[in-house]
Amino acid sequence: MVLLLAFLIPFLGKEGTIWLVLVLSIVAYFSYNVRKKQSYWKKKGIKHAKPKFLLGNIEIIRSKPFSEKILEIYNDFPDERYYGAYQFTEPVLVVKDPDLIKQITVKQFDHFVNHRVLASPEADPFFSKNLISSRDERWRDLRATLSPSFTSSKMRFMYTLIDECAQQFIDHFRKEEGEIIELEMKDTLTRYTNDVIATTAFGLQCNSLKDRNNDFYLMGKDGSNFGGLRSFKFFMYGSSPTLFKLLKIKLVPTYIVNFFSKIIEDTVTTRKEKKIVRPDMIHLLLEAQKRRHEDTKTNEDFSELEESKNRQKQEITLEDICSQAFVFFLAGFESVATFLTFAFYELAVNPDIQKRLRDEVQIVDGKITYEALLGLKYMDMVVSEVLRKWPPAILTDREINKKFTIQPKKPDEKTLVLEEGMNCWIPIFAIHRDEKFYPDPEKFDPERFNEENKATINPSVYLPFGAGPRNCIGSRFALLEGKLLLYYVLKNFEVVTTGKTKIPVVLDKKMVNPAAEGGMWLGFKKL
């Protein structure tokens, strides 16, 4: 910098020199602060991934898929219980140890109640109202209110609607000409998940395989696309929430939010006016709203202390219902389609496993009941192994809301004090491919989840739906939706590879969560 200044001064004059010095001073100060922030783990004496200037361990233009990058860094610390990383300039603790994961997600959950801020009420009031984005007491209150809507009995309540979508999917392809129908699976399966969410969460009937450009599907595809710029927004939100508040940057565009909100508002109004009852998520959310309203009225005569507590429990508003339904859509549209895409891939490249699963499916006559579906043991083993090898979420996170101390357990460890506001990552994809927990992790082996072996798996290292009180509230729904389609497809088709199938699968570098580069091409061969 000094040499540059000395070279330029003769050409700039007094005023130009002042401006140059000012600019260079600002750059130097900025650079100093970035490097200071990115030396956090070094000063703590904690082993860490070497950060790139400003970017930390996040790549904007990725040299490899995000999942593989996380796995690569994870494997650089084979004997560590945890290690440091950087989300741009913010320090992040990456946790590997099962006992420590259990401590964070379950035993001392009160220190780790929240996810990192994804959307602030100031910048994105709509998205911040959903269960994932909610924090502290609002999250506790909302979770307690919504949980009864996701019990096994409520899944049975919606089963008929999902079954209709699965049969509609099969009927479409049974009518196709030719012995083998070649399909790009992700596109095909998002049409199924779209129709399921449309009917169960929004009260709409769709056939996205027949009407390929219906508005609901196109808006859903746009809204659930978190590759490219939107994936960058996710990481930036965690690093610079203040900047996003000031600029009022939203994760999901307003026109998409307005589209889905209008559908919910119109549906709710119609149902209330005409007293329509339908076995779907809107009905369950309206029932939750009614329960909350009745609870509030019942508790009006409580003591002053109890009254004070009750006031903290807010009524479920129409906007709350819209926000929950929308995030339910985002999770169901993309995550279940990802899970099914890799399930069909593994069945196609492991025909012996597919045959065994088909033999189990063929025992059931015709239309399958909710209880019979849950009773398919090998189906459960296959699904569990798909979610082990290809978890739809690469990682989950927890923000520290109370100072937390990690005591040393190994000779080379130090006492580590984590301050309030710091973020922890639990790298699900990497943990699921750690040979210490899953021998020969690249092998697709449903026998890992037979009755005998399943009992030996530590729950803290099997995390397809997260862990602890903050796990995925819709896991039962996702499993039901996925298993039902697997059942009907295997009842009617053999899933086969085609000339376009890439073996092994190559993951897309542009996407945050697992997706096949160039699409996942497979064939449905009629039985």
Per residue, what are the HEC states of 103-168?
Answer: HHHHHCHHHCCECCCCCCCCCCCCHHHCCCCCCHHHHHHHHHHHHHHHCHHHHHHHHHHHHHHHHH
Q: Identify which of 198, 236, 231, 203 has the alpha carbon closest to the alpha carbon of residue 214.
A: 198
Q: Identify which of 94, 49, 101, 105 has the alpha carbon closest to the alpha carbon of residue 76.
A: 49
- Distance set, CA 385 to CA 222, 347, 380, 446 (Å): 30, 11, 9, 5
Q: How many helices (H) and strands (E) does the chain have?
A: 21, 9
Which contiguous run of DSSP H or E holds residue 421? none
How far apart CA 202 and CA 194 sit, in angstroms, is: 11
472 is annotated as contributing to ligand binding: yes
**Alpha-carbon dihedral sign for residues 483, 486, 487, 488:** positive
The backbone region for 324, taken as left when phi is positive above 0, alpha when psi lies in -120 to 50, beta otherwise, is: alpha
How far apart CA 450 and CA 393 sit, in angstroms, is: 24
Is 208:214 a contact under the CB 8 Å cutoff? yes
Residue 152, Cβ density class (10 Å: 0-12 exposed, 13-18 middle, ≥19 buried): exposed
Question: Per the structure block, which two tokens stand in for 480?
Answer: 């039901």
Which contiguous run of DSSP H or E holds residue 72? helix 66-75
Is 430:70 a contact under the CB 8 Å cutoff? yes
**Alpha-carbon dihedral sign for residues 512, 467, 106, 76:** negative
List, as one string, the DSSP characters of 172-227.
HHHTSSSSEEEEEHHHHHHHHHHHHHHHHHS-----TTTSTT-HHHHHHHHHT--S
Binding site as annotated, residues: 472
Binding residues for heme: 472
